[in-house]
Structure 1
Amino acid sequence: MTTPPTARPAAPATPARDWRAPAAACTTVILWASAFVSIRSAGEAYSPGALALGRLLAGTLTLGVILLVRREGLPSRAAWPGIAGSGLLWFGLYMVVLNWAEQQVDAGTAAMIVNIGPILMALLGAKLLGEGLPRRLLTGMTVSFAGAVVVGLSMSGRGDSSALGVLLCLVAALSYAGGVVAQKPALRHGSPLQITTFGCLTGTVACLPFSGVLVSEAAAAPLPATLNMVYLGVFPTALAFTTWAYALARTTAGRMGATTYAVPAMVVLMSWLLLDEVPAPLTVTGGLLCLAGVAVSRTRARGRRTDGGPAVAEAGQVTGDRP
């Protein structure tokens, strides 16, 4: 008499990776990079405040129509502190100050200083939101920031920077980081579309004092500059900020901040393809460092299997579910 073989327990199924959040983050990076190309045209005809208000008006109108079509309504009351914080800091203050700063310093200097923002974002997220600071994230951000510095040095002019411009860039970096950290808790109480729509509306209201300037400058501005301003509102603002919020709801502020280090590399590529600006070898090197750092920060560390079970993933990794 033979003993029947004992059936082995089935191996746990490996969950399929959800690519929606990474795809949303990539969409954000590409559209934000395209914004730098459009700002060059619109910024020649519009002052910083007027450009920010025109961009926000176009973004708010687009988001409002989508919100009405989808019938999502208002977010819960608990979301409004985060909406107000992100709207005032990120949609309002950041856009005006950055436009102003780029009139005071060259693009390379602005890129170097503003890219302090993702580092501040990770630190604030760890302090205020209880997010971890995994070693891979810190390593990747260090590599990417070094790349941003190299890109900035390669693009910096001589004698074009001012103390006011540097200060404005620092304010932009702080408002950028603060706005993202304020937005993160709000995403627990509303959809990405709701949080983005009402954050954009908050920024628009804050910029209404520039209405008179916008009207007068729009009357004299060439059509391409106005079309670029509308493009900034519809795509890098309405669409890109929504895909950003979607991805942010599914990962940490630190990791999303690290992802934005791909923007300088994309700007270099788009300037080459669309503006026929051939990048210097040092600029290409810096762009590649930015991308390498992003790749490191987005990878997952394999945990040790001590009990035969699945490895424990590193804290703060991107998942398909909300945290």
Structure 2
Amino acid sequence: MTNSSHTGRGSEGLALAAAAVSVVLWASAFVSIRSAGDAYSPGALALGRLLSGTVVLGVFLAVRREGLPPRAAWRGIALSGLLWFGLYMVVLNWGEQQVDAGTAAMVVNIGPILIALLGARFLGERLPPRLVAGMGVSFAGAVAVGLSMSGEGGANVLGVALCLLAAVTYAGGVVAQKPALAHASALQVTFFGCLVGAVACLPFSGQLVADAADAPAPATVNMVYLGVFPTALAFTTWAYALARTTAGRMGATTYVVPALVVLMSWLVLDEVPAWLTLVGGALCLAGVGVSRSRPRRRTDRTEPVGEGVAVAAEPEVAGGTR
């Protein structure tokens, strides 16, 4: 039992490290999208990002000789590819052109809440009180960050609707991806999901060619960066971590992103955050800490099993499905 306990903690540690890589890279995408989005239309930017990611992932898949995923994984791969890799990236790029960054952040950050609810409904995942409380704290922090970043008159109905659609497709994609990871590797699920998303975005090919011809080099570099790191690498590490915990807990982890965006904007763009932004970022981090915490385990109590027999009660492992 000791060896399995150590193995479980080691696996959880690797999953947490993988999730950390994902959220850091997704936060860095904020700066790159702002640069590339000035030169590329929403569909063209999504397609260019997905094509770059597909090429990198395809090379790794060929080197590892993993081949095609089992048939049982394809439904989840196809759904996550269409919803998360394809539709989500297009509507998010479009939405962020219609509303200010703060409004977009507030609306899109209902995504983790939807993931937890959909995970409970379709995956049979529990909603531990600490997860619910932590998500509530983090969402309050995301709202604070959004309010502090919102510009006057920067929101419109179309932009809010697009950001809401982005949150829904993001949540649906995560929940669809979870079952596929029971049958295929993280690399397989990510590569073929990215490929499905790229194929779905092929109607924007002409726009991508036209935009690339006129785009300055830094914008194109940022588009390729989005494909290689926040897509190919971050989505693979995300899938690795998602396979080892619940969709709800993974969704709550992404509330770290607003806090990291504030920090990166401060360091890279020299944008000094307001006090409300700092408070919101701190709440986001605190909420993630609460959502990932676990009750103190008690290993010394006993439970009766049958008449006159008692065994030590196994501590409950919260949030894990595998």
TM-score (norm 2): 0.94
Number of the residue aligned with 1:125: 119
Number of the residue aligned with 2:307: none
Q: Which runs of 5+ in 2 are unaligned?
A: 303-310
Number of the residue aligned with 2:192: 198
Number of the residue aligned with 1:3: none
Are residues 1:284 and 2:274 paired?
Answer: no
Shift of 1:13: 5.9
SS in 1 for 2:5: coil
Number of the residue aligned with 1:306: 301
1:169-208 alignment to 2 at 5 Å? 169-208=163-202
Are residues 1:156 and 2:146 paired?
Answer: no
In the alignment, the residues of structure 2 paired with residue 42 and residue 215 of structure 1 have an alpha-carbon distance, to the nearest angstrom, of 14
**Residue 263 of structure 1: which of 243, 246, 257 is its match?**
257
In the alignment, the residues of structure 2 paired with residue 169 and residue 268 of structure 1 have an alpha-carbon distance, to the nearest angstrom, of 20
SS in 2 for 1:103: helix
**Residue 25 of structure 2: which of 28, 31, 49 is its match?**
31
Kindly indicate whether the alpha-carbon contact (under 8 Å) linking 2:190 and 2:235 is maintained by their aligned counterparts in 1. Answer: yes
In the alignment, the residues of structure 1 paired with residue 81 and residue 98 of structure 2 have an alpha-carbon distance, to the nearest angstrom, of 25
Q: Which runs of 5+ in 1 are unaligned?
A: 1-10
**Residue 231 of structure 1: which of 205, 213, 225 is its match?**
225
Shift of 1:208: 0.1
In the alignment, the residues of structure 1 paired with residue 319 and residue 202 of structure 2 have an alpha-carbon distance, to the nearest angstrom, of 38
CA separation of 1:178/1:14 partners in 2, compared to 1, >3 Å: closer, same or farther? closer
Shift of 1:303: 4.3
Number of the residue aligned with 1:315: 318
Are residues 1:137 and 2:131 paired?
Answer: yes
In the alignment, the residues of structure 1 paired with residue 224 and residue 237 of structure 2 have an alpha-carbon distance, to the nearest angstrom, of 19
CA separation of 1:12/1:228 partners in 2, compared to 1, >3 Å: closer, same or farther? closer
Number of the residue aligned with 1:7: none
Kindly indicate whether the alpha-carbon contact (under 8 Å) linking 1:121 and 1:253 is maintained by their aligned counterparts in 2. Answer: yes
Q: Deviations over 1:208-258 (max 9, x none)?
A: 000000001100000000000000000000000000000000000000000
Aligned residues: 309
Kindly indicate whether the alpha-carbon contact (under 8 Å) linking 2:294 and 2:318 is maintained by their aligned counterparts in 1. Answer: no
In the alignment, the residues of structure 2 paired with residue 24 and residue 316 of structure 1 have an alpha-carbon distance, to the nearest angstrom, of 17
Number of the residue aligned with 1:104: 98
Are residues 1:216 and 2:210 paired?
Answer: yes
In the alignment, the residues of structure 2 paired with residue 23 and residue 269 of structure 1 have an alpha-carbon distance, to the nearest angstrom, of 20
Larger radius of gyration: 1
In the alignment, the residues of structure 1 paired with residue 98 and residue 210 of structure 2 have an alpha-carbon distance, to the nearest angstrom, of 23
Kindly indicate whether the alpha-carbon contact (under 8 Å) linking 2:33 and 2:223 is maintained by their aligned counterparts in 1. Answer: yes
CA separation of 1:14/1:203 partners in 2, compared to 1, >3 Å: closer, same or farther? closer
Number of the residue aligned with 2:56: 62
**Residue 72 of structure 1: which of 60, 66, 71 is its match?**
66
Kindly indicate whether the alpha-carbon contact (under 8 Å) linking 1:303 and 1:311 is maintained by their aligned counterparts in 2. Answer: no
More helix by share: 2
Q: Give me the identity figure in percent.
A: 74
Kindly indicate whether the alpha-carbon contact (under 8 Å) linking 1:125 and 1:254 is maintained by their aligned counterparts in 2. Answer: yes
**Residue 41 of structure 1: which of 35, 39, 45 is its match?**
35
CA separation of 1:143/1:236 partners in 2, compared to 1, >3 Å: closer, same or farther? same
Kindly indicate whether the alpha-carbon contact (under 8 Å) linking 2:25 and 2:229 is maintained by their aligned counterparts in 1. Answer: yes
Shift of 1:300: 1.3
Q: Deviations over 1:173-232 (max 9, x none)?
A: 000000000000000110000000000000000000000000011000000000000000
